[in-house]
Structure 1
């Protein structure tokens, strides 16, 4: 196993590697708790509100491969600045929308922009960080987003109190503007463009054929993880609305859930580095699935808060797991393309999970949809137990 360089420290690359993702996470955290509620206010049914929120994942799915191409051609910094501008345009659509479909366009644009931030940073970290610290680096990248998701709802709650639901989108705009300005100020990290250029001509179809087994097994399991994560962002506000909680209270519940989530990312990464990936993947899925299945039993602020914090615990210990497993499986040649494909598969879960939730909610009930999504986590737990390597070697 490759040993870390004595002089290596995540702190040396923290601002450039994690700063833009942190601020973008604040923006997403500010608006996630109210996306479904805004759609409802515009006349969308509960099922259509779920579909509109699913457009975040769909947008990310559509943008993963173009994001890799843009970053390779124009450089990572330019790609992230462009994504910030694009996301701000999406927020303008959300603020000006008078119909659900126009609001959905804005949500889709924001999802597309988010793909650029995560893919750009993940590719670099795989190359820059020693294998024995890889999970900590990936979990810290995920943790930067989680820190943003933690603070975002609290900021949103203050803006909502002053400006109504639109306040959440103004808070998001300020954070994403900051992410764009920071991206503009920092240089591309050394060697990043060179690495992408060396794999630019690797054929995507050949990559998929050579790595079909890992993409079908661990890739599909990662897609199920994404489905649970995406649905939790919809389930909490919709169920809170269902039991009569207001938008400010919903944002606070979401924020406390993010707080538990945020605190665990680095310990989770260290466990993965020292004990192996399965020690985190398996408990994460079991806890998330069980807590989702408990949500339909909640009936007020206290019970929903308690279950949401357990859900945050399960998600927090799984911080960075999808990116880490993808990085472990990625080849040296064509790494950017492989990670783009990996993100497409995982984002199929991020977009497909909410679509499944929306469909079951329309056909049966919101509670039935939540239970179905919770069941997917048990499937993912089995797949990780079956196919995830116990140890990773260089």
Structure 2
């Protein structure tokens, strides 16, 4: 199962990720760049339009809400129109969202634009994942998934730096113009990618499809075991972005020191995505999933024991290592578990489960912190890492799926 310019894959023996790097990963890099360009200024823009701090926080959260809302509809759209058209449509929707954000004069109109970004993000990522599953031979699947996750992270990391120049010239609106250009580039690259007609698709094109409820029941064992484990991964990842600045403030660090710690952690994170994918392909998914969760769980539990810049930086870098080696693990496990006959809708349910974990983690952190203390909340999130590690040890296969 490989890719060719005519849209039908050649033999897997001749396959090279490098040969398809631009069409396969270029759109994801640019899409991540667009999202990264606006993330730091969303709350500020909402405040400038008259939103309270609470409303500004809610508006930022609409990205995640929109993503969860769109997972199942995105699967049906990609199923009906194909991954390439879905990616182009998502890019156009993001460009429309940027135009709405630029034209907004009230927080509610601005919030609608932010919600559209979340909707489009879900459509784009689901279509991109499905495309790579079909395009890449199974013995290189983890490398493809980890590289997909890595390019998105690179884009998110670089986005604020790209938009900084335009913000300097144009104010906050510069970030949205930078994002609009990035989304335009992602759409144009996606437009140039051929639709795939793989052997699996040809064989199963006319196969009967279950209803969504029937599909969920048919694969309930996977969703309730590995699906829940990957939801815990999402919860931990969502919380790690909150924990660092909160604990830095708790121990009295300045904002510049906090930003430095966060940036270094992100840099360490980005360096490890390809080696992680290679290990998963050669040795099996457990070789990455297990250490990733153990390292992240232990690092989070260690954070409340830090009392200064150096200690927090060291623990945060270890946390970045744990997250970095887990790049692509959620998408890879989902790809392995997905059936050829109804892959896209299966992945829509899979993404919904993992997004629920990503939304539930911060809620758990907030609840435990309110009831006990911030240190207790961080420790509770760290404990999720050990639960996820046990679940992966219990249910994740020991060898690659093609061995």
1:19-66 deviation line (CA, Å, top 9, x unaligned): 111111112233344556666774324xx7665544333222211111
Residue 119 of structure 1 aligns with which residue?
Answer: 126
Verify: 1:11 aligned to 2:13, yes or no: no
Q: 1:58 to 1:326 in 2, by over 3 A?
A: same
| C-alpha distance in 2 between matches for 1:134 and 1:10 | 10
| C-alpha distance in 2 between matches for 1:339 and 1:113 | 16
Residue 228 of structure 1 aligns with which residue?
Answer: 236
Higher mean displacement: 297-306 or 330-339: 297-306
Q: Tell me how large the CA RMSD over aligned residues is.
A: 3.3
Higher mean displacement: 264-273 or 9-18: 9-18
Verify: 1:44 aligned to 2:38, yes or no: no
Describe the SS at the equivalent of 1:334. helix
| C-alpha distance in 2 between matches for 1:176 and 1:279 | 35
**Consecutive unaligned residues in structure 1, runs of 5 or more:** none
Q: CA deviation at 1:165?
A: 5.5
Report if aligned partners of 1:64, 1:343 keep a CA contact under 8 Å in 2.
yes
Report if aligned partners of 1:50, 1:234 keep a CA contact under 8 Å in 2.
no
| C-alpha distance in 1 between matches for 2:327 and 2:289 | 9
Report if aligned partners of 1:50, 1:357 keep a CA contact under 8 Å in 2.
no
List aligned pairs for 1:199-214, cutoff 5 A.
201-214=209-222
Q: 1:239 to 1:113 in 2, by over 3 A?
A: farther
Q: CA deviation at 1:362?
A: 5.3
TM-score (normalizing by structure 1): 0.84
| C-alpha distance in 2 between matches for 1:156 and 1:254 | 19
Q: 1:53 to 1:368 in 2, by over 3 A?
A: farther
Higher mean displacement: 29-38 or 371-380: 29-38
Q: 1:153 to 1:282 in 2, by over 3 A?
A: farther
Q: CA deviation at 1:347?
A: 1.3
- Which residue of 19, 23, 28 corresponds with 2:30? 23
| C-alpha distance in 2 between matches for 1:115 and 1:187 | 21
Q: 1:127 to 1:189 in 2, by over 3 A?
A: closer
> RCO (CA 8 Å, sep 6+): is it higher in 1 or 2?
1
Report if aligned partners of 2:84, 2:191 keep a CA contact under 8 Å in 1.
yes
Residue 257 of structure 1 aligns with which residue?
Answer: 265
User: Of the two, which has the highest radius of gyration?
Assistant: 2
Q: 1:63 to 1:250 in 2, by over 3 A?
A: farther
Residue 266 of structure 1 aligns with which residue?
Answer: 274
Q: 1:163 to 1:122 in 2, by over 3 A?
A: same
- Number of residue pairs matched? 388
| C-alpha distance in 2 between matches for 1:341 and 1:121 | 16
Residue 386 of structure 1 aligns with which residue?
Answer: 394
Q: 1:290 to 1:162 in 2, by over 3 A?
A: farther
Report if aligned partners of 1:139, 1:265 keep a CA contact under 8 Å in 2.
yes
List aligned pairs for 1:78-93, cutoff 5 A.
78-92=85-99
| C-alpha distance in 1 between matches for 2:274 and 2:153 | 11
| C-alpha distance in 2 between matches for 1:259 and 1:54 | 25
- Which residue of 171, 183, 194 corresponds with 2:190? 183
List aligned pairs for 1:132-143, cutoff 5 A.
132-143=139-150
Report if aligned partners of 1:289, 1:376 keep a CA contact under 8 Å in 2.
yes
List aligned pairs for 1:290-301, cutoff 5 A.
290-296=298-304
**Consecutive unaligned residues in structure 2, runs of 5 or more:** 1-10
Report if aligned partners of 1:139, 1:268 keep a CA contact under 8 Å in 2.
yes
Describe the SS at the equivalent of 2:14. coil
Q: 1:366 to 1:153 in 2, by over 3 A?
A: farther
Describe the SS at the equivalent of 1:6. helix
Verify: 1:311 aligned to 2:319, yes or no: yes
Describe the SS at the equivalent of 1:125. helix
Q: 1:89 to 1:192 in 2, by over 3 A?
A: farther
Residue 347 of structure 1 aligns with which residue?
Answer: 355
Q: CA deviation at 1:254?
A: 3.9
Q: 1:96 to 1:238 in 2, by over 3 A?
A: farther
Q: CA deviation at 1:212?
A: 0.9
Report if aligned partners of 1:199, 1:336 keep a CA contact under 8 Å in 2.
no
